[in-house]
Amino acid sequence: MASKKKDPVKAAQAKQADQGENTIPPKPKPPENDTASMIRASQERLEANRAPEAKKIGSIGPEIARYDAREKVMGQAQYAGDIPAPGAAYGYAVSSPVAKGMIRATNTQAAEAVPGVIRIYKHDAMKGRLKPVKFFNQGGPASTDMLVMSGPEIVHDNQIIGYVVAESYEAAREAANLVTFDIDEAKSSATFGDEGVTTYALAEKNKDWKDPVVGDAEAAFAQAEQKVEAEYFMPTQHHNPMELFSTTCHWEDERLIIHEPSAGVSVLKAGVSTQLGLKPENIDIISPYVGGSFGAKVTMTPRTSITALAARDVGRPVKCVLTRQQGFTQSTHRAETRHKVRLACDAAGKLTAYGHEAWEVTSRTDAYTVNGTENTIHMYAWPNATTKINVVEADRNTPGFMRSPPETPYIFALECAMDEMAEKMKIDPVEFRKLNDAQTTAYKNKAYTSRSLNQCLDKGAEAFGWSKRDPKVGSMRDGDWLIGYGVAMATYPTALSAAAVRIKVMADGNALVQVSAHDIGTGAYGVAAIVAAQELGLPIENVKVELGDSRLPPGPIAGGSNTTATISNAIAETCNRLRLKLGVKDGQSILPALKGLGAAEEQYNWAFEGAPPNAIETLYKGGAPFGGAAYGDKLRFAFGAEFVEVRINERTREIRVPRITGVFAAGRIINANTARSQLLGGMIWGIGSALHEATEIDSRAAKYTNSNIAEYLVPVNADIPNVEIIMLPEEDRETNALGVKGIGELGNVGTAAAIFSAVYHATGKRVRDLPIRIESLLTA
Amino acid sequence: MNDSTRSPFFTRRNFLSRGAAAAAAPVFAEALVGAAPAQAQASSAIPPGPAIPMSLVVNGQKRNFAADIRTSLLDAVREKVRLTGSKKGCDHGQCGACTMHVDGKRVLSCLTLAISVGDKPVTTIEGLAKGDELHPMQQAFVDHDALQCGYCTPGQIMSAVACVNEGHAKSDSEIREYMSGNICRCAAYPNIVAAVNQAKSQMKRS
Amino acid sequence: MRPFSYQPASSPSDAVKATSMKPGASDKRGDGNTVFLAGGTTLIDLMKLDVSRPTGLVDVNTIADKALSEISFSKDGLRIGALAKMSAVADDATVKREYPMISQSLEKAASAQLRNMASMGGNLLQRTRCSYFRDVAWKQCNKREPGSGCAALDGQNRLHAILAVSDDCIASYPGDFGTAFVALDGSVEVEGPKGKRTIKSSELHLASGSSPSVETTLQPGEFITALVVPAGNWARRSAYLKIRDRESYEFAAASAAVALEMQSGKLGEVRVGLGGVAGKPWRSMEAEAVLRGQSFNEDLAQKAAEAAFADAKLHKHNAFKKELGQRTLVRALMDVAAMEA
């Protein structure tokens, strides 16, 4: 029978030639040039003149305390909402009570009567005052194309449809609650399965997208020894950074100063500039500390421009802090997704085909999708794969990126299917992944610059005690508690962007590094200081770093885990130029050369090797040029393996995770201390994603019903007894000159699948809808 | 304690006067409202109003100001007393970022009305260090990297100090339970537990 | 939040008198009611949500009478001043020893900070977490707007109640201590405009009948001054078991407060309270009747659990609570039966 079929490997190779590229704007066209050679050339150039410290660096850098820890533990770090603004009035967004409809009138009489009210803006008060801005995925700076308060239309629940300015927060809130609307409400459609949603294939409407396909998957499925076909669901999730979304605006003549927690000050500046028709040089965005972002604070959201205009109208600073509830709809979220995954295996346990069809919910206004198949198709050594992404438009606010946007849902689905297949094949899930490891993948026949998944699996299995796992389902217990062990892969592509870095060195050996990158809790300040100190040959305490301010040379957004790789390379290049300029010899510190100098300064515009020629121009205009990952001739990804133990009460079925071990290989680690914290936080996010997090939607009204952090559950301290993190040394000389990969979004990928695997091991139940909760385990 | 985790950055002082960017930063000056507070007297109702004279004793200092009667302790301390270390993360008692000590007990300042505090002593994160010398709990948070974005950190530290003082830091599991009212979305939890363990012995000694 | 007048009270009678305060002509923005401010953890929260709109607050924390926050024991039982903080009662060594169920129900509620703020009297009167009640954008809520309907019946009702509910309201009573308190047959002492009286815990809260906006039998101006728990041989052998998605800082999906009088495997008096599943603090007389006087074993526990939930009214997302509630009760009964007392 099999002999009649085409050889799947040959079919794959034949078909591959037909496959086009798979990109959507604004990503640059993938460079076809030999990026690996270009990176090696950069490396050689850097290595020809380095400080002695830089020559000694190993893959895993030193453990150095967080740069801004002291300010933070003393309460002295001033976040955007902490900036004193004397004479400030308070802005308060008025939110729509319905998800869809047309506003006939805004009634403000009762609100106007509240003492202290300065001004109330009605639902269309910004009409003509706000110019259209493009949605981020269309190459623009905004979280949505929707123009807020510019007309009668309501397109999502809690949309900003009014704005109150008052003398106090209390007066503003009271007045906002008293504003009422006459609305012709229309029937809304909230999510999957609701009447009225619009579903289409992404490739149908987006001509730049082609679903990745390789070989002849259907033929391979038809002749498979074993198949898995299953559907997985990941619910809506919200970032919920601890810091509330806030904006304080104030004008100095024509100059607009904005204090807002931003993980993309250049993007925000470009957005406000376009939206308000201001010259970019007249806008300052100041955001040195950001109280968590996780993707939520990168793009421009609607409140900023309204607050700016209100501040101009009332002639005073205006401070607007969204409530926690408003943050659920007036920022972005991770959309709910459905996944149908198919795997085929031969008798030896080698995967022969992978199928993945996904459905992603978005708004009516913007087609936001995360397109995870671009990455998943490279994950294992299958010669055949077929994928398809579908878009489901509903009456919701536009989703956006949230920590590992494509990987969290797509790798979850893939890794769950891998676990199911390993079980069917009676192969240990660790061994099954190793068996199907790929250093080069069939799709476009690309090689990884480094992929240490197998090493991570081995090390993790040893550290966790995987050998103690009795593979029989339900076989392990401790008193009344059922025990399950589970494993999954973690991975994240290494993204790179562009950065302009200015470094000043003083005669006394102090240095200042300036780049408008962002430290959203990632440790970027310390990374910049450490790299500069190492490359210049200065004591670390001599290096001062400034980030998060649009008056600095532009840097990358804090998204796609690119910051460390981007700024480390940019700083190293800048230091190298400074050394050459000062005539510093290889192997020497810059210190002796500084004697007698007043100061020396170098500014360098760095973009990743193979970047499009306009990358720097794009950077200065507030764009976010991105590369790395699967672009160019190689695959650039970090990998890890996560092992979890779950305990499930035999009777009441609550699920706890007493311990979790993660082993990661992510190239060069600059600061092992803050890197470990990133991975720690990521893994705990993964636990939350598996067991706690879900934004509940009432489909009748397309409204969220748990938009607070008492009922939108995230893990608390008591949920996290024991986390073990191991960073494997990994030298990668082709991913970028410094060999740095991104880790901020690596830790939370795969965790939910490992818990899925462990829950099955403990109970025999495959819970394919997240979160896995008590009710899923009560029935046999 | 591992000396290598002592931040080398702490020796940096304002040697470059915050650099070019800081030089252009808008400078705001804040003057406190100097109204005399009406002593809340039994059986006399204070009518609603946007500028009720109030006072708070924060970190040992009496501060007078006028505020809307509805003002929370959190907003009063942040917006009127101008100590912004305490953070607003939910405003509804769900996250712990606003934790302060009132009368020596940890409470949520977002659910406390400023006017109801009276002359009870209030301690905020700014009141822990002695000048440049960090409180052992603050130092422990630095040493164990018990923070990332830092936004929940003032509340975590105020809660952690109280946790030790209450005698609820006897074991890791007890610390976890009694620190669960402080949500850390960056999820530094295990490091927070390590920090509390380090600080508790030092707090006993001091 | 609507504007309010603020009045510190000097005594319970002063507080009671102050609630009759009428709002001034200039302040009609509230609902005209004057209410007590104790810990504020429910009230201030609901005021910020615009769900509660009192015109006046009477601060009872300024009352200097120490008896209002005292915890005392006598041969008749336990007496807790209504202004005692949850944390103080939870940490009390005698409460821990003599009434473990009370101590545990308090420790497992809320967070350390909230327990330092919330008074015992206020905790008993905690309002529901029903999201349709807490978000005024929802038009239908019989608790907020009598006669408007109940959006939860066909909405997201995973956390809603299955016992003591009606077709007009399925909101869940969220408290933990209240569950233990009703199981132990506690009562509250009340001072009001018409003098003092005592209300049994079983008669303090009302089930979600046809007027869910009326939650208790307290009359306007009535102020809880003390909580009294009678002595009983069963109190020492008691426990509070709380089941939830995360390990801490979450309301119960289901809970059970169990106290047993037991000798050589035979049950005497039995007390069963159920939380997270009912519209009011719920004592399961049905479960107690099955258990009382019988020889204890798992089968009996299972029968009691089935009796406890025989009348459960299930909705789309909370149907699991019947099974979970039963299992929670069985587990609690097994745990308490195994206790050394």
Q: Annotated catalytic sites of A, by residue?
A: 745
Helices marked H in A133-235: 169-178, 202-205, 217-222
- Predicted confidence (pLDDT) per residue in C285-295, tens digit: 999 999 999 99
Amino acid at position C142, single letter: N
d(CA B186, CA A699): 31
Measure in Å the smallest separation between the Cα of C211 and chain A Cα atoms: 23
pLDDT confidence of residue C24: 55
pLDDT score recorded for residue A579: 96
- At A435 the pLDDT is 98
Average pLDDT over residues A602-622: 95
User: For the segment B111-121, what is each residue's pLDDT rounded down to a tens digit?
Assistant: 999 999 999 99
Q: Of all helices (H) and strands (E), which one includes residue C305?
A: helix C298-308
Q: How confident is the model at residue B160 (pLDDT cuts 50, 70, 90)?
A: very high
**Average pLDDT of the residues in B192-198:** 98
CB-side exposure of A625: number of CA atoms within 13 Å? 28
Residue C263, judged by CB atoms within 10 A of its CB (0-12, 13-18, 19+), counts as exposed
Preceding omega of A771 cis (within 30 degrees of 0): yes
Return the pLDDT at C209: 87
What is the model's pLDDT at position B204?
77
Residue C262's contacts (CB-CB under 8 Å, 6 or more residues apart) are C237, C268, C296, C337, C341
Angle at A554 between CA A549 and CA A558, to 5 degrees: 75
> H or E element: which one contains C81?
strand C77-81
Q: Please give the full DSSP string across A672-726, using - where no structure is assigned.
A: HHHHHHHHHHHHHHHHHHHHT----EETTTTEES--STTTS----GGG--EEEEE
Q: Which whole-number Å values give the CA distances from A294 to A241, A667, A745, C69, in the listed order?
A: 7, 22, 9, 45
Q: Which residue of B has its CA nearest to C4?
A: B48
pLDDT score, position A630? 73
pLDDT, tens digit (0-9, with 9 covering 90-100), for A38-82: 999 999 999 999 999 899 888 999 999 999 999 999 999 999 999
Answer for the pair C232, C307: CB distance below 8 angstroms, yes or no.
no
pLDDT at position C340 is: 81
CB-based contact, A357 to chain C, within 8 Å: no
Total count of residues recorded for chain B: 206
- Provide the pLDDT for residue B35: 41
Q: What is the pLDDT, as a whole number, of residue C26?
A: 47
Least CB–CB distance from B138: residue in A73, A252, A714:
A73
Which whole number is the average pLDDT over A245-271? 97
**Alpha-carbon gap: C329 to the closest alpha carbon of chain A (Å):** 9
Q: What is the pLDDT of residue C80?
A: 98
- C64-98, pLDDT tens digit by residue? 999 999 999 999 999 999 999 999 999 999 999 99
Query: Peptide bond before A26: cis, by omega within 30 degrees of 0?
Result: yes
* DSSP 8-state class, residue A280: G
Q: What angle do CA A768, A773, A779 make, to 5 degrees?
A: 80
Distance from CA of C66 to the nearest CA of A (A): 33
A316 touches chain C (CB under 8 A): no
| Contact between chains at B150 and A291 (C-beta distance less than 8 A) | yes
Residue C53 in contact with partner chain A when CB distance is under 8 A: no
Banded pLDDT at A28 (limits 50, 70, 90): very low
Res B17: pLDDT: 33
Q: Is A114 on the interface with C (CB under 8 A)?
A: yes
Tell me if residue C169 falls in helix, strand or coil: strand
B&C contacts, CB < 8 Å = 112
- Any chains having at least 3 CB pairs less than 8 A from chain B are A, C
Instruction: Judge contact between C288 and C271, C-beta under 8 A.
Output: yes
pLDDT at B6 over 70: no
Q: For the segment A334-356, what is each residue's pLDDT rounded down to a tens digit?
A: 999 999 999 999 999 999 999 99
Phi-psi sector, A429: left (phi>0), alpha (psi -120 to 50), beta: alpha
Band (pLDDT 50/70/90 cuts) for residue A34 is: confident
The answer to whether residue A32 scores a pLDDT higher than 60 is no
**Position B205 confidence tier, pLDDT thresholds 50, 70, 90:** low
Question: Would you tell me which residues 269-298 of chain C have a C-beta closer than 8 angstroms to some C-beta of chain A?
Answer: none
Q: Please tell me the distance from the alpha carbon of residue A567 to that of residue A168, in angstroms, as a whole number.
A: 41
SS (H, E, C) B19-49: HHHHHCCCCCCCCCCCCCCCCCCCCCCECCC
Q: Are B144 and B5 in contact (CB under 8 A)?
A: yes
- Read off φ and ψ for residue A199, nearest 5 degrees: -115, 135
Q: Provide mean pLDDT across the span C99-122.
A: 98
Q: How far is residue A351 from each of residues A425, A492, A640, C246, C284, measured CA to CA in Å?
A: 11, 22, 20, 37, 56
Q: Lowest-confidence range among A23-32, A406-415, A467-476? A: A23-32
Residues forming a β-bridge with A24 = none
Say if the Cβ atoms of C158 and A696 lie within 8 Å.
yes
Please report which confidence band the pLDDT of residue B9 belongs to, taking 50, 70 and 90 as the band edges.
low
Task: Give the mutation candidate from C10, C34, C111 for the B interface (greatest B CB count, under 10 A).
Answer: C111
What tens digit of pLDDT does each residue of B42-88 get?
A: 458 999 999 999 999 999 999 999 999 999 999 999 999 999 999 99
Single pTM value for the model: 0.95
- Mutation choice for A interface testing from B95, B101, B151, B197 by most A CBs within 10 A: B151
Whether residue C29 is predicted with pLDDT greater than 90 in this model: the reply is no
Burial of A570 (0-12, 13-18, 19+ CB in 10 A): buried
- pLDDT tens-digit profile of A567-606? 999 999 999 999 999 999 999 999 999 888 889 999 999 9
The mean per-residue pLDDT over the stretch A405-427 comes to 98
For residue B7, the model assigns a pLDDT of 52
Neighboring chain B residues of A722 at a CB cutoff of 8 Å = 190
Q: Using a CB-CB distance cutoff of 8 angstroms, which residues of chain B are in contact with residue A539? A: 8
Q: Among B2, B9, B134, whose Cβ lies nearest the Cβ of A73?
A: B134
Alpha-carbon gap, residue A204 to A619, rounded angstroms:
31
What local confidence, expressed as pLDDT, does residue C210 receive?
A: 85
Task: Answer whether residue A29 shows pLDDT above 50.
Answer: no
Contact B111 C41 (CB under 8 A): yes
Q: Give the pLDDT mean for A4-28.
A: 40
Residue range C6-21, pLDDT digits in tens = 999 999 999 999 988 6
Question: Does the pLDDT at position A520 exceed 90?
Answer: yes
Distance CA A350, CA A261 (A): 48
Distance between CA A319 and CA A316 in Å, rounded? 10
Residue B184: closest CA among A243, A772, A690: A243
3-state secondary structure of C311: coil
Whole-Å CA distances, A320 to A168, A261, A302: 11, 12, 12
How far is A92 from chain B, CA to nearest CA, in Å? 15
pLDDT tens per residue, range A301-321: 999 999 999 999 999 999 999
**Cα–Cα distance measured from residue A722 to residue A707, given in angstroms and rounded to the nearest whole number:** 29
What's the rounded Cα separation, in Å, for the pair A337 and A334? 9
CB contact under 8 A, C6 and B69: yes
Residue A730 per-residue DSSP state: -
Look up residue A654 and give its two tokens.
């609550």
Q: Which of A293-307, B7-21, C202-216 has the lowest mean pLDDT?
A: B7-21
Residues of C in contact with B96 (CB under 8 A): 111, 113
C224-251: average pLDDT: 97
Q: Is C105 on the interface with A (CB under 8 A)?
A: no
* SS3 assignment, position A548: coil
Minimum-distance CB partner of A718 among C158, C248, C320: C248
Residue B98, CA distances (Å) to A81, B1, B79, B110, B184 in order: 14, 29, 13, 6, 13
Q: What is the mean pLDDT of residues A501-515?
A: 96
| Facing A677 at nearest CB: one of B70, B139, B145 | B145
**What is the pLDDT averaged over residues A502-526?**
97
Question: Which pLDDT band holds residue A779 (cuts at 50, 70, 90)?
Answer: confident
**C-alpha torsion A419→A424→A430→A431, nearest 10:** -150
Nearest chain B residue to A250 by CA distance is B26
pLDDT at A358 > cutoff 50: yes
For residue range A564-573, what is the model confidence (pLDDT) as tens digits?
999 999 999 9
Calpha distance C288→C116 (Å, rounded): 34
Across chain A, mean pLDDT equals 94
> How near does any CA of chain B get to the CA of C172, in Å?
19
With a CB cutoff of 8 Å and minimum separation 6, the contacts of A363 are A144, A146, A155, A156, A393, A394, A395, A396, A397, A398, A399
Is C171 in contact with C152 (CB distance < 8 Å)? Answer: yes
The letter for the amino acid at B79 is E
pLDDT at residue A11 in the model = 46
Neighbouring chains to C with at least 3 Cβ pairs closer than 8 Å: A, B
Task: Given the cut 0.90, state whether the ipTM is greater than it.
Answer: yes
Q: Is the pLDDT of residue A331 over 60?
A: yes
* DSSP structural state of residue A182: E
